[in-house]
Structure 1
Amino acid sequence: MQPGIHRTDGTDPEEASGLLEAEDTLDDLRGVRDVLDTGWSPPERPWAVDDWGTTEAEESAGESLDGRLARELPDGAADEGDGLGDTTDTDGELLDDEVGDERAGRLVDADDGGTEDRDDELWARDAGIDGAAASAEEAAVHVVRDRDR
């Protein structure tokens, strides 16, 4: 193609590098002004060259079950955590013995609202878990047993 002549789609082949400029892309260019200045680091060694099935002969012959089982890696042992609570992937969330494990149901007034409540304390009874989905507040209420029982 002669210099100065554009293709029918309006693009100049000398300017069409196929790479977007920094303002036209969502990629993080790590402070590089020109897209062509970004580098690429090859892997330490080629990927999958030692794997089964990379040659045409291996692919056509297929792999035996014994070969597949020999390449299997056993699952790693589960992380026991740090012994601080019930999570293994955090710094530990201490278990609180003040909070029960059993979820409470709907709490209703102990006297079913029949009389005016003049007590300084609030008393309620557990009416059981509602058949519908509980709100976040209701799901947060748990039963705490008395220690002397």
Structure 2
Amino acid sequence: MTETPEGLPDESDNLDQLQPDDTLIDRGVDDVLDEGYSPSEKWSAGEGFGSTADEALQGENLDQRLAQEEPDVDPYAEDDGEDLDDGEVGSERAGRLVDPDQGLGEDVDSELVGEDVGIDGAGASAEEAAVHVVDDE
């Protein structure tokens, strides 16, 4: 048996999951194993035909294969004329919104107030780049 150097934890200590007392993550459960797992709700290829050995030997018939096909989208099809512009998206991009006191000091204003300080040299996040100015009608 190998001895661990002084100050290092034993290997047996590393086999258990860390409890909320030992980490900074607290999700409201006493034991990490009580948390559970929520699987995705989309269809998996493993649920289809041919996932077992018996089904693979049997093979799919033509009707089963045709039912799985999806039609190709025609890129040259004419537009149905539906206009998606509902007037809520402006054409002019907004700049970075900053607190009136530049984020310094105590927040004494009860409303959310910000000033447009202009575009910050293409250093905007995706959320900031998505904000546009909408004119009032």
TM-score by length of 1: 0.35
Work out which structure has the larger RCO, using CA pairs closer than 8 Å and 6 or more positions apart in sequence. 2
TM-score by length of 2: 0.37
| Larger-Rg structure | 1
Higher helix share: 2
